[in-house]
Chain A
Amino acid sequence: MKKEKVLSFIYDTLFFVASMAILVALWELIAYVTKNEIPGPKPTLTVFKELMQEPFYDRGPNDKGIGNQLMSSLYRVFLGFGAGSLIAIPLGLLMGSSKLIMRLLNPIVQILRPVSPLAWFPLGLLAFHAAEGATIFIIIITSLWPTLINTAFGVSSIPQDHKNVGTAFGFSKWKYLTKILIPFSLPHIITGLRLSIGIAWMVIVAGEMLSGGVGIGFFVWDSWNGLSLEKILVAIIIIGLVGVILDKMFNALQNAFAWDK
């Protein structure tokens, strides 16, 4: 058993290294073909090291370290995601437990869900009179749909057997909510949250390109204006890594609350 685990860990590591090697090789190839117009891994690494020497420097509003940029993006994502989830979860619970509310609200969800969150940006500007508020606003919108839909689905798919337990033993509304409805729907809710944060992290980059100021998305745009492609590539790698970490966090949460292991 233990030997198998060690072996599978070795395999996982080997495959990861192989995968990264393919990525670096492709990158080198592209740099070679474009005659280093797109910088290769080596010059990018040099810039990465430079940026990492002082990631949290702050020399005025338009000159901040990459660490600062990343932190303000994460702050916006968590704020927007938190507010969005606080709206989406209760609404999803309601939609899942009442056919009436589901039928009433589902068409709204279906129409608004496919809209790119960026389309809401001007409305956010109008409402908050500031780019900061507008950026968080679009993250709130982004975080709504997957959580809402998954929560509603989770609640509406509670098996009759579980409901029967509540009926047969006269569970109060509160007991039904805390001992049957929420425990059953929790894995679905967390799946929704995981999808939401993933999309929110994608949208923040685009949002900050629009809003300017500070943030990893702004950093990418600013580097383009400063014609530093290496910085853009560094930012892409960091955005990717942070995205993986966020996903792993919610994956761990999913495993922690899975009762059907």
Chain B
Amino acid sequence: MQELETIETAINPTTTTPETAIAIKNVSVSFKTKKGVFNALNNISLDIKRGEIVTLIGHSGCGKSTLMNTVSGMVAPTSGTVTANDKIVKGPGPDRGIVFQNYSLLPWLSVFQNIYEAVDSVMKDKTAAQKREIVNKNLDMVNLMSHKNKLPGQLSGGMKQRVAIARAFAISPSILLLDEPFGALDALTKSDMQIELLKLWNLANRDKTIVMVTHDVEEAIFLSDRVVVMNNGPAATIKKIVDINLPRPRNKKDISHDPEYMKIHDELLTLLFHKFSIND
């Protein structure tokens, strides 16, 4: 935490110019299923600024992962466009790092190799030594140096997720996309990982844009600049965008007593809870 604070104060927020990192414009997504066409997203528009942390929140199956996957390029919109770093998204690219819900590490490769293969694939013009150095630097950042030769099967869930995050950071993307990254972790590990993520974001001069899918209200408030609350699918839309005007650095313990925090927490719960009462 000490490190976190010193880094944060060293940054002058006025130097960063707000520009659009991600522009989602009238995006609809529908899938063909055996029962017919399933409309997952309906005409969604959303702009995300460079260096912003935005979380997508909503109930299971509301299409929040689908929305994020249109940014990653893993899902193509049926209509509308997604622009990332001024380029229309046509597929996955090295400017967008992805952290998957279930870690998605290759079980036959060591921790080091898992990151190395991603770096090797993206940074083709670097020498092997340079690539190894990048991997080591990122392993060091997530404190996994001593586990670099282990196979993913020998790691705990939290460690696996740190590898996945290190892998996403290692290709130095300007946009990071995280799909419920801490969903499978216990509460304590989850808190550690949230702080770790912010630490990495700070180390990168708060330049990286982070989009994260979650269903955890506290996590969303603690991390984000804005929380995008989504309606339930099918044909999901954005219900409301809530600004989180809490000063950074944020302290997990202190923040929960902040009246602003409580107000936002209440608002988000009402937005989500309201949906519950309709359904049940």
**Which residues in B have their C-beta under 8 angstroms from that of A175?**
117, 120-121
Whether the pair A261, B153 counts as a contact (CB closer than 8 A) is: yes
A260 at the interface (CB under 8 A from B): yes
**Which residues in B have their C-beta under 8 angstroms from that of A172?**
121
B93 at the interface (CB under 8 A from A): yes
**Nearest residue in B to A179 (C-beta to C-beta)?**
B117
Whether the pair B109, A179 counts as a contact (CB closer than 8 A) is: yes
A170 at the interface (CB under 8 A from B): yes
Whether the pair B117, A183 counts as a contact (CB closer than 8 A) is: no
B94 at the interface (CB under 8 A from A): yes
B233 at the interface (CB under 8 A from A): no
A164 at the interface (CB under 8 A from B): yes
Whether the pair A162, B92 counts as a contact (CB closer than 8 A) is: no
Whether the pair A169, B171 counts as a contact (CB closer than 8 A) is: yes
**Which residues in A have their C-beta under 8 angstroms from that of B117?**
169, 171, 175, 179
A165 at the interface (CB under 8 A from B): yes
Give the number of A-B contacts (CB < 8 Å): 56
CB distance from A189 to the nearest CB of B (A): 14
Whether the pair A170, B108 counts as a contact (CB closer than 8 A) is: no
**Which residues in A have their C-beta under 8 angstroms from that of B121?**
169-172, 175
A110 at the interface (CB under 8 A from B): no
A157 at the interface (CB under 8 A from B): no
B74 at the interface (CB under 8 A from A): yes
What number of A residues sit within 8 Å (CB to CB) of B?
A: 18
Given A168-B74, A171-B121, A172-B121, A161 contacting B104 (CB threshold 8 A): yes
A94 at the interface (CB under 8 A from B): no
Partner of B94, one of A170, A184, A261: A170
Per-position contact with A for B165-195: 1 when CB-CB < 8 Å, else 0? Answer: 0010001000000000000000000000000
Per-position contact with B for A199-227: 1 when CB-CB < 8 Å, else 0? Answer: 00000000000000000000000000000
Whether the pair A165, B72 counts as a contact (CB closer than 8 A) is: no
Does more than half of chain A's interface fall in helix, strand or loop, or is it mixed?
Answer: helix
CB distance from A42 to the nearest CB of B (A): 52
Given A164-B74, A169-B121, A260 contacting B107 (CB threshold 8 A): yes
Whether the pair A168, B153 counts as a contact (CB closer than 8 A) is: no
**Which residues in A have their C-beta under 8 angstroms from that of B171?**
169
Whether the pair A170, B104 counts as a contact (CB closer than 8 A) is: no
A255 at the interface (CB under 8 A from B): no
Whether the pair B93, A183 counts as a contact (CB closer than 8 A) is: no
In the bound assembly, the distance between CA atoms of A251 and B35 in angstroms comes to 45
Whether the pair B92, A168 counts as a contact (CB closer than 8 A) is: yes
In the bound assembly, the distance between CA atoms of A9 and B145 in angstroms comes to 39
Within B108-157, the residues touching A (CB, 8 Å) are 108-109, 117-118, 120-122, 151, 153
Give me the 7 closest cross-chain CB pairs, A-B, nearest first.
A259-B108, A169-B118, A183-B108, A168-B98, A161-B104, A168-B92, A169-B121
Task: Give 20 CB contacts A-B under 8 Å.
Answer: A161-B102, A164-B100, A165-B105, A165-B106, A165-B118, A168-B74, A168-B98, A168-B100, A169-B92, A169-B94, A169-B117, A169-B121, A169-B122, A169-B167, A170-B93, A171-B117, A183-B106, A183-B109, A259-B151, A261-B153
Additional A-B contacts beyond A169-B92, A183-B108 (13; CB < 8 A): A161-B102, A165-B100, A165-B105, A167-B92, A168-B72, A168-B100, A169-B121, A170-B122, A171-B121, A179-B106, A183-B109, A260-B107, A260-B153
